[in-house]
Structure 1
C-alpha cells in the first residue's frame, strides 16, 4: 500500500473498537517498515503541503462555520502561514536531522566507533484542541512524519466542519499508511490516551493534561504536554507605551484571546497604568471600529466558553472589582462575541486569576518597583510564555536568567509560535517536552546509541584475575583516563 490509499473508515465518529483496529493496523505497518527513507518522508511532507494549499478556501470556510465569525485573513495568518512554514523548514533540514551523530569513544574501548542513530518511535498519538484546530493538529504531525512515524490524530469534536476538510486533506496527501484521524467525545478521548502509543502529544488544559499523563503512565508511554497557563506581560517603566499597546492588543485579542500563549495578565508600573489603558482603547478602536460587530473580531468557539468567561466577570463584580469595557460601541455580548474587558487589580483568589482565561478578558496589576513584579511572577506556576516590554538590557537579562517559562518574548507578543526554527513547549505547570524545529524531530525519535568494536580491544586485558599489571596501572593512573 502506498501513502495515497483511502482511509479505513469514513464515519466521522469512531467507536472504541474501530480506534483499536486503526492502531493495530498502523502498528503492523510500522513493524513491516520501521525506518521510512528520507525520500518517503520528504514526499509525504510535500504532498501534505500541496493538499493544504489546494484546500485553503474550504478550510477557511470551515473554520468560519465552526467559530461563527473568524475572518479568513485571521485564520490564514494564525493557522496556515506558520504551518506551511513549519513544513518547508522540516523539508529543508530533514536530511541533516536524520544524519547519525558521531560520538567519541573512551580510551578503554579502543579501537571502536560510536554514533547515535535517530530511529522513529513507531506510532505516535496526537490529541489536538479546538482553539487552533488546524495548526495544533497538523503541526505535531509534521514533526512526527519527519521523524518517520505513523500517527493517530484525535481532533476536537467542537470543530466538525474543519474536521471534514482535514479528513479530505489527509486522505489525499497521506492516506492510511501514515495517519488515522479520530473524532469522538470525552469517552473516545479518554480511551485514546490509554492506547499503548510509542509517544503521545497532548495540547490542552492543565487539568486534562494530568488525566492524559495518568492514562499514558499505564503503558509507560512517553508524553509531551502543551498546557498553557497564565502567561504574564510585564511592562517596565522604560517601555514605549504606544508600541506596547499595539502589540498587547494584537496578542490578546487575536482569535478572541483563545490562544494558549496569549498574554493572560499585565503587570505595569502604577504611574503608567492609565496611559497604557488609554492607548489600548485607541488601538482597539483602530482594529475594530464597529466594536464586537466588526467582522474581524472573532467569536468565542461555543456557548460553554461564553458562560465560563461571563462567570469570571460575575464573580469579579460580586467582589467589587472594577471592570471596564474598552470596545468602541460598548456592547458587551452579541452574536457569540464578548467585548474586550480589563479588570483592575483583581485579587489572587478570584477564578480569573487562578485559571487560564482563554478569552478577551485582561487583568491589570500594578507595581511600584519592578522587583515586586519579578517576585510576583516567580512565586506563581511557570507559564508557557513570558512577555517583557522594556528598553533596558538588565531587565532582559533578569528575565532570561531568573524567570522560568516555556518561552520569553521581548517587545512583542505571540510571534514565537510562528518561528519554524525555535522549539515550542512549556515547563512545570505549563507542560513538558517540546516540538517544532529540530527539537520536534528529536521528540518523535529515539536516539539509539550504536557502538561498533573493531579487532583487538583493550577490554580483553581487563578481565580477571585482577592482580595483573594492567590493573596495577589503572589503580595508579585511572583518574587521568
Structure 2
C-alpha cells in the first residue's frame, strides 16, 4: 500500500456526475426510518447488542479463523485468533460496562461560563464502516463496537479482497441483528464506490492513503464527517545506548506478525552508521530463532495475493538495481515455491530516497535500514516526511525519550517496543495528516461516533438578555473596554 503525493481535488463537472440510483440507498433509508420510529437505542439495548455480538464471535471463532486462512492462502491461526477474535472480545468487555457512564450528560467545568450547561453525547445516526483486508475481522468489528456503544445503526462494507471472511461476517451479524439495525453489504470495487457515496451520518474507512482521499472526496459531496485510518511509513529509531538484540526482538514483533501486512508495522530503521552491521546480525539471530523454517512453517503468514507478492518482489529488485545490498534471511536455506507467496524476511542496507522501499508503504517482511550520523539527523529525516501512523523509539534514556515524544508528530508511538500501543483500548488509536483523521477504540470510539451537543438550561430568574439589550447606556462601551484590558 503506497502513500502517494497529494492529488488535485476538483469537483467533477455536473455533466460527469452519475445520475444512476445508488443500489444501497434503500438500505440506508430503511435504517433511517427505523431510527425515527424506534428512537435512539438506550443504554440497555446497546449493552445487549454488544453482548449478543460477543456470543456470536465466540460461536463463530473457529469459522472466522478458517475463513481468514482461506483468504490469505495461509495465515498463522494463532495470530488470527489473538488479533481478530480475542481483540474484539476484549474491546467489548471493556466497553459494555462503561457505556452508562460515558453516555451520561456531562457538566462543563465550573467558572467556564454560565451555570446550567450540559454536554450530551448523542448517536450520530447511521454510520458506514469500510474495513480493510489485512485484518478483515477486527477492522470491521472494532469500529462496529464503538458505533453500537454510541447508539448508532450501522452499515458495513467488508473488503473485497477477503470474500470468504466477508461472507462469514455477513451471515454472523445477520443472525443476531435486524438489517434495519446492523447490515453487511458485500461486493467488488464498484460496490465500495457506491457505498462511500451514500449520505451517511458518519463514515469510517480503513485502508491506504490514496483510496482514503477518494473516500473523503465522496463523503464531502454529502458533507459526511469521516474517520480515516490510513497508513504510511512508520519509522523506527534505535539510539546508540540501546541493546541491539533486545531491539531486534521487539521490532520483529511488529514486522513479523501477519508477514508485516499491518498498518503500524515498523517500515524502516534509522540507526547510527557504526551500529548498522551489528543490528543486521542481531536481526538475523532474532529471525532465525522465531522462524527457523519458512516454506512450511504454520507461524509464517503468506502475502495476501499475487499482486502484492509481485509488488514486494519488485521493491526488492528496484533497491538492488539502484545499488542497495539485499540480505535475505532464510535460516534453513529452503527453496520457497512462488505458489506459497512466502517472502523470506529481507533486510536492505545502503538505501537511498529514490528507491521504492523508501518511498512507498512496504506492507510486507522487508526492512530497509538507513544509516545516520546522529539522533538529530534521524529526527529531522522523520519530520521532513509525511506524518506516520506510528513512531517507534528505542532509548535507555527516559528523559530523552520523553523529549522525542513531545517534539515529533505521529498517530501513535511506542518507546522501546512496537505495535503494542494498539492493544491498549483505553487509549485512542488513529492517524494524523497523511496517516489519517480521527481516532477510535474504547471511550474514543464512543466519542468518535457520537455527536457532542451543548445544551444550556437557563434559570427562571436570570438571563443575560436582561442586560444585553438596547438602547445601551452611554457608559457601557467604557465598561466593556475595561473588561478587554482586564482579560488581555
User: Normalised by the shorter chain, which TM-score bucket?
Assistant: over 0.9
Higher mean C-alpha deviation, range 121-130 or range 76-85: 76-85
Matched, 1:82 2:107: no
How far did residue 315 of structure 1 move? 1.2
- Structure-2 separation of matches of 1:367 and 1:223: 38
Where does 1:59-98 land on structure 2 (aligned, <5 Å)? Answer: 59-98=64-103
Q: Which residue of 2 aligns with 1:154?
A: 157
Separation (CA, whole Å) in 2 of partners of 1:433 and 1:107: 26
1:54 aligns with 2:56: no
Gaps in structure 2 of 5+ consecutive residues: 1-19
Gaps of 5+ in 1: 1-14
Q: Residue 130 of structure 1 aligns to a residue in which SS?
A: coil
Aligned mates of 2:181, 2:357 — CA distance in 1? 42
Q: Which one of the candidate residues 269, 279, 282 is aligned to 2:282?
A: 279
Residues 102-141 of structure 1 aligned to structure 2 (within 5 Å)? 102-103=107-108, 112-141=115-144
Specify the SS of the correspondent of 1:327. coil
Which position in structure 1 is the counterpart of 2:448?
443
When the two chains are superposed, the root-mean-square deviation of aligned CA atoms in Å is: 2.0
Matches within 5 A, 1:376-415: 376-415=381-420
Shift of 1:333: 5.2
Query: Structure 1 residue 173: deviation in Å?
Result: 2.7
- Quick check: 1:467 aligned with 2:470? no
Matches within 5 A, 1:429-440: 429-440=434-445
Tell me the SS of whatever aligns to 2:24: helix
SS at match of 1:101: coil
CA–CA distance in structure 2, aligned partners of residues 382 and 17 of structure 1: 35
Aligned position for 1:365:
370
Aligned to 1:6: none
* 8 Å CA contact retained: 2:315, 2:356: yes
- Quick check: 247-256 or 462-471, which moved more? 462-471
Q: C-alpha distance in 2, partners of 1:216/1:139?
A: 21
Matches of 1:221 and 1:114 in 2, distance apart? 28
TM-score (norm 1): 0.92
Q: Identify which range, 288-297 or 362-371, moves more after superposition.
A: 288-297
The CA deviation at 1:468 is 6.8
Deviations 1:182-234 (A, max 9, x none): 11111111121111011111111111111111111001111111111000011
Q: Which of 354-363 and 310-319 deviates more? A: 310-319
Match of 1:245 among 245, 248, 255: 248
Distance 2:189 2:222 in 1: 20
CA distance in 1, matches of 2:159, 2:220: 23
Matched, 1:316 2:319: yes
Alignment-derived partner of residue 27 in structure 1: 32
Residue correspondence of structure 1 range 297-316 to structure 2 within 5 A:
297-316=300-319
Q: Is the 8 A contact 1:82 1:419 kept in 2?
A: no
CA shift at 1:456, angstroms? Answer: 2.7
User: Secondary structure at 1:449's aligned position in 2?
Assistant: strand
Partners of 1:358 and 1:389 in 2: CA distance = 22
Seen in structure 2, the aligned counterparts of structure 1 residues 325 and 16 have a Cα distance that, compared at 3 Å, is farther
| Contact 1:281–1:326 (8 Å) recurs in 2 | yes
Structure 2 CA distance for partners of 1:276 and 1:168, relative to 1, 3 Å:
same
User: Which deviates more from structure 2 when the two are superposed, residues 63-72 or residues 270-279?
Assistant: 270-279
**Number of equivalent positions:** 465
Answer yes or no: is 1:422 the counterpart of 2:427.
yes
Q: Does the CA contact (< 8 Å) of 2:323 and 2:350 recur in 1?
A: no
1:233 pairs with 2:239:
no
Residues in 1 aligned to 2:440 and 2:112: alpha-carbon distance in whole angstroms = 36
Aligned residue number for residue 15 of structure 2: none
- SS for the counterpart of 1:409 is strand
Please, which of 449, 453, 457 is the counterpart of residue 452 of structure 1?
457
Distance in 2, Cα, partners of 1:105 & 1:239: 47
